[in-house]
Each structure stands twice: as C-alpha cells, then as structure tokens.
Chain A
C-alpha cells in the first residue's frame, strides 16, 4: 500500500527561475520527469507512476533564459560499436517558477563510433498508383512523408531490379512543399513482369534510403490481335 501525504515539502527544485531543461537519451524517445502534484490529488486515479516525485529521467542539463544553446558531452557508454550507428534523442522543455511545460517533440540524431553525426534519411513513402499506359509506358505516383529527424532527400530515384529490358533510372527532385511525386518509364517490354525500387538520395547519392521495394507490375505495349475468319465477297 502506498500512502500519499497531503503536504509534501519539496527540497529538490530543479525548475527554479526561468530557463530550459535539456533531455537526451539513447533511442528514439525520452523519459521525461512526470508532472508534480504538490498537494495530494483529490481526484487522481491514473498511473501510480505519476505520484513519484523524483523518478529517474533523462534531464541532462539546463540553461537559464535568455540562453538558447547548450553543449552536451555524449557519454562514451552511449557510443556504438565500430562500424555501427546509434540513435540518440534530444529535447528541450521550458520551465519557470518551479513549473515545467510538458510539451515534447524530440529530435533524433544518428551517431557513429567516433561520436560524429551520421547523415541519414528518415522519411517514408507510400505508393499511390501504378498506371499502365500505351506503348509499354508506366506512370508511378507516390507520396513522401517527410520527417523532422535526419536530413531531407535531394531526389528520388526509381531503379529496375528485375525485368526483361533495362530502362534507365528515373529521378524526380525533392521539394519541401511537395507531397505527391510522379515518375514515368517509357517503352517497357510487353506482357513482362518488372520490379522496381524507390530510393531517396541525399548528399549527391552518398546517403540513400530504400523507401519502397519492390514495386511490381506487368507492362502492356501491344493492342488487340488481328481479326480472324475474314470473309470477302462482292455485293
């Protein structure tokens, strides 16, 4: 049984004055300090964890207003093994007069074994339609869902992974204000199955992410066959 006293005297006051708390944690999310309830909850029936006054959190530092930057040394234990990468989430929360604003919106950064940032693409895509056109042409439409994390792509590349002919890769430039993109391949082989991958590229192709794999379809380059049973007569 857990007793909750009515008048708890708070000794630790991390949110005195005006400032910003800085949070950092390995992974893609952060354990925040729970909101405090000072005088005992008359109605509260939620998570018992809410009552813990000093839970373990990932608040790694703070700055007083009007400072707008904070340097954090990433502990050696957070660094990944050689050749691997690790994701670290960061966030800030404002506080004033012992009250911290519980807004959240972490930014996730990927680091390598040297503690340097790794450029990566975090967005995702969804194939909206595959339209077979005359002459073996195929139009593919997709939507790109940008992310706050990672870097933005410079372009999207559609490349063939299997199929009877070898069409050139098709690209379309990324735009931060555009959501739906369209790529058309021309003159693919008739009645043949193709597979394509959609890849996002950044840093002139040095950073890539395969967004959709595979995209499959069978091109159609031929019309109906000739008529049959032809009868000729003069009338």
Chain B
C-alpha cells in the first residue's frame, strides 16, 4: 500500500539532466519512490535513505514531483496510475514491431509543433534504434496543454535516409501546467507603488 505522506524538503539540480530530491518521512521500514508527473523515475535502495537522484530532461512545462512511501512488497512497482489527478505534461507510448523486416534501422516519431496542430513530418521528436521485433516505448518531452499527435513509423537501412514505412498516428491529450513567467534579474515580477496604486509587471 503506497502512502503520500512524505514531505519534499529540497530539490537540487546535480547536473543538466539530474535532479536530487530530499524528503522527510515518518514511515518506518518503508521504501520511497519518486515520480515526475505519473512517471516512476527513482526509488531508495534501503529503508533509511531520504534522498533520490533521478535523471530528468527539463522542459518549458512544469511537472509535479511526488514521493511515495511503499512497503517492501511494492518495491519496484509503478504506482503512477494511482496518484491524485495532477496536471501531467508528457506522453508515453508503447508499441511493438511485429512483422517488421530485418533491414529496419530506426523507429522515428514525429509530432505537431503546436497544440491541436497537424503533424509536421520534419518535427522529429524521437528516434529509437531498431533492435529486432520487440515492444518499444517512447516518452515525449513536457508539452503544452492540449491535443498532440505522434506519428510513429520505421525506416529501413537504404541510403541515404532509408525508406519510410507505414505510419501510425497516436492522439494524446495533455493537461499541463502553463509555463511560468520569465525570470529577470532573479525576480519573476516587478512592482512599483505610488499613491496607493501598485503596478505589477511580468514577462510571458
């Protein structure tokens, strides 16, 4: 049974693509899991650890961090689907390549550039090397609120760019947070006050 009780006390970038999350928890004998959005990204190795480092590619659209306390039997189990209904910004698509020929080289994912738009075939958002018939998974970057279409197809190894295979379109609706206001000189907004009127300014 997972619990949401732990409190995150600090989140630090330890590199361009790595987050360190520290937390407190009163759950004795529990392991702890870290989720970004609904994505299960890290877990403590022992029950006394209160820190998880996970890889994370930052994007324009903020995502929730959640720490779950779980019992020993739930170690390694993904509880992302049980989290409260929070805004989530990424698409995760899994598919298999049954019947693909052996000269396949790569799986390519293209998508729309703006919410609700048509797929732009030149907007390649993912390339997965083909390593035989199997189930593959694609995880998108954080995207703005709205409808997104991902076009998945294979390419074979013929020079120069290979023959494109049959495409499959997948539609996904994200419920993302909006991007934050821009930071300027360390502040998110500026305020000036005169005669009881405050003028508050920000940059989108």
Contacts and interface: CB of A to CB of B under 8 A. Distances in A.
Given A72-B198, A92-B200, A114-B195, A43 B83 contact: yes
Contact of B199 (A18, A66, A71): A71
Interface in B168-188: 175-181, 186-188
Among B5, B84, B186, B194, chain A packs the most CB atoms within 10 A around the CB of B84
Nearest to B83: A43
Contacts of B175: 97, 99
B191 A45 contact: no
B186 A73 contact: no
Contacts of B180: 94, 101, 103
Given A43-B3, A94-B181, A109-B192, 15 more contacts: A20-B204, A35-B86, A43-B2, A44-B4, A68-B202, A71-B200, A90-B198, A94-B177, A96-B176, A97-B175, A99-B87, A105-B187, A105-B189, A109-B191, A117-B193
Contacts of B82: 42-43
A116 B3 contact: no
Contacts of A79: 196
A45 B4 contact: yes
B188 to A, nearest CB: 4
Nearest to B81: A42
Given A37-B85, A70-B200, A105-B187, A115 B195 contact: yes
Interface of B is mostly: loop
Which size bracket describes the interface of B in this complex? Answer: 35 or more
A49 B199 CA distance: 32
B65 to A, nearest CB: 12
B180 to A, nearest CB: 5
B200 A99 contact: no
Contact of A88 (B3, B198, B202): B198
30 contacts: A24-B198, A35-B86, A43-B3, A43-B82, A66-B204, A68-B203, A68-B204, A71-B198, A72-B200, A74-B198, A76-B196, A92-B200, A92-B202, A94-B177, A94-B204, A96-B145, A96-B177, A97-B145, A99-B176, A99-B178, A101-B178, A103-B62, A105-B188, A107-B187, A107-B190, A114-B195, A115-B194, A115-B195, A115-B196, A115-B197
Interface residues of A, number: 46
Given A69-B201, A101-B62, A116-B194, A90 B83 contact: no
Contacts of A69: 199-202
A101 B4 contact: no
Nearest to A90: B191
B4 A46 contact: yes
A187 to B, nearest CB: 40
A167 interface: no
Contacts of B178: 18, 94-96, 99, 101
A39 B200 CA distance: 35
A90 B200 contact: yes
A73 B191 contact: no
A45 B198 contact: no
A100 B180 CA distance: 10
Contacts of A200: none
A116 B62 contact: no
Closest 8 CB pairs of A and B: A115-B196, A96-B178, A117-B193, A94-B178, A101-B177, A105-B188, A74-B196, A72-B198
Nearest to A43: B4
B193 A74 contact: yes
A31 to B, nearest CB: 17
